[in-house]
Amino acid sequence: MDNAGGGPATPEGVRSARPRLAIELTALGVVGVLLFLALAAGAGALYREFYSPSAFVRHYLALLEDRRTAEALAVPGVAIDAAELEAAGLPSTASEALLRPDALGGLSDAQVVAEQSDGDVTRVSVTYRAGSYAGRTTFAVTSDGNAGLLPRWRFATSPLAVVDLSVRGSMRFSVNGFEIDKRQVSLDSADADPSAAVPLLVFSPGLYSVSVDTPISATPGVAVLADAPLTGIPVDVQAQPTDEFVSVVQQRVEDFLTTCAEQKVLQPTGCPFGYTVRNRIEGAPSWSIAQQPKVTVVPDGAGWRIPTTDAVAHIDVAIRSIFDGSVRTVDEDVPFAVDGKITVLPDGTASILVSGSARAD
């Protein structure tokens, strides 16, 4: 064997080149292994960040944080039909009125805290803040096939929930500031029962504050946290009469009693006071209201009522005795009690039915 200079290669030179080659090949192998491990680690990080069940849930929560409700509804497994609601024991007629940006409460700081596989289902637990409340929810996620080499996911259980809302004392209310009329979301439309609960689909997680603020009734609001997928959340809100409403009722009752007092008879028709005599009267009696009742208004099922309260009428009348023909003048107060029932009509006006009782002389 000739060397590069044309002379013979020595056996010692050949032997010394072999260890160097082995070292170089080993180094290349180590580099290859490290490169493979780096690629594998990068692929794993990419999977966890963008293509894992946790990433799927994070995407859904990010849409809710940004109030992109239409896109959130389009996430696989979110939208639900009547049959699925019924199978879950929820009202199949639940309205979608609250599945819009205007009705969504604030959601922030969502973080995945656990991911656990359970057969074909992966359970992803997250924490978050809904308004000022801290919450935790677990979602069920399952495979939805593949897009090429990339996995796709869907919710195994829809993250929507149903708020079964009863609002007494008002046909109108607001949820997170979004105004709703029961007649708009009820299957009975204009014939909706004022006392019936209204089932409303909502996103979970989500904070929903229900309040009433009308000229007739108001309430400071009731907040409910929807934190469990596909569950029913009963909410009962009792509105209270406003000062303005009570003032109107007071005036209407006073006007009614004043009109009653204009009748020149012992027993004014349809009125809660009267006077009974066993003799004959000389001339028409004269009534006035000596003391108007102090009216209060309290809830009564879907409507309102006026609790029993005292009032005083005054009568002036001359009475002739059938025994001896003598005439005496009655000039006295006539105590009576007033109560009533108030019905709020579909056009928002109130029908007030005043009743009561008088005492006999």
Q: How confident is the model at residue 263 (pLDDT cuts 50, 70, 90)?
A: very high
Q: How confident is the model at residue 12 (pLDDT cuts 50, 70, 90)?
A: low
Average pLDDT of the residues in 80-93: 95
Adjacency order of strands within the sheet including 160-168: 198-203, 160-168, 232-238
Choose one of 196, 214, 239: the last residue of a domain: 239
Instruction: Kindly tell me if the per-residue pLDDT of 5 is higher than 80.
Output: no
Tokens encoding 7: 């002379």
Instruction: Kindly tell me if the per-residue pLDDT of 18 is higher than 80.
Output: no
Of 2-6, 30-34, 91-95, 169-173, highest mean pLDDT: 91-95
Q: Give the total number of structural domains in the chain.
A: 2
Tokens encoding 344: 């709020």
φ and ψ at residue 202, rounded to 5 degrees: -140, 160
pLDDT tens digit string along 327-359?
Answer: 888 999 999 999 999 988 777 778 899 988 765
- Higher model confidence: residue 79 or residue 360? 79
Residue % of the chain over a pLDDT of 90: 64
Choose one of 239, 273, 305: the last residue of a domain: 239
Average pLDDT of the residues in 77-84: 95
CA 214-219-220 angle, to 5 degrees, is 125
Question: Which pLDDT score is estimated for 36?
Answer: 47
Residues 219 and 253 in one domain: no
Instruction: Kindly tell me if the per-residue pLDDT of 45 is higher than 70.
Output: no
Q: Is residue 311 part of a domain?
A: yes
Question: Which pLDDT score is estimated for 1?
Answer: 46
Average pLDDT of the residues in 249-277: 95
Question: Which pLDDT score is estimated for 103?
Answer: 96
Beta bridge partners of 223: 209
Are 297 and 306 a contacting pair, CB within 8 Å? yes
Residues 199 and 299 in one domain: no
Query: Global pTM?
Result: 0.77
Which residues lie closer than 8 Å to 143 by C-beta, 6 or more apart? 120, 151, 152, 153, 154
What domain range includes position 138?
Answer: 51-239
Q: Is residue 4 part of a domain?
A: no
Average pLDDT of the residues in 291-314: 93
Instruction: Kindly tell me if the per-residue pLDDT of 48 is higher than 60.
Output: no
Q: How confident is the model at residue 39 (pLDDT cuts 50, 70, 90)?
A: very low
Which residues lie closer than 8 Å to 290 by C-beta, 6 or more apart? 312, 313, 314, 333
Residues 63 and 203 in one domain: yes
Q: Is residue 87 part of a domain?
A: yes
Q: How confident is the model at residue 38 (pLDDT cuts 50, 70, 90)?
A: very low
Closest CA relative to residue 314, chosen from 298, 295, 297, 290: 290
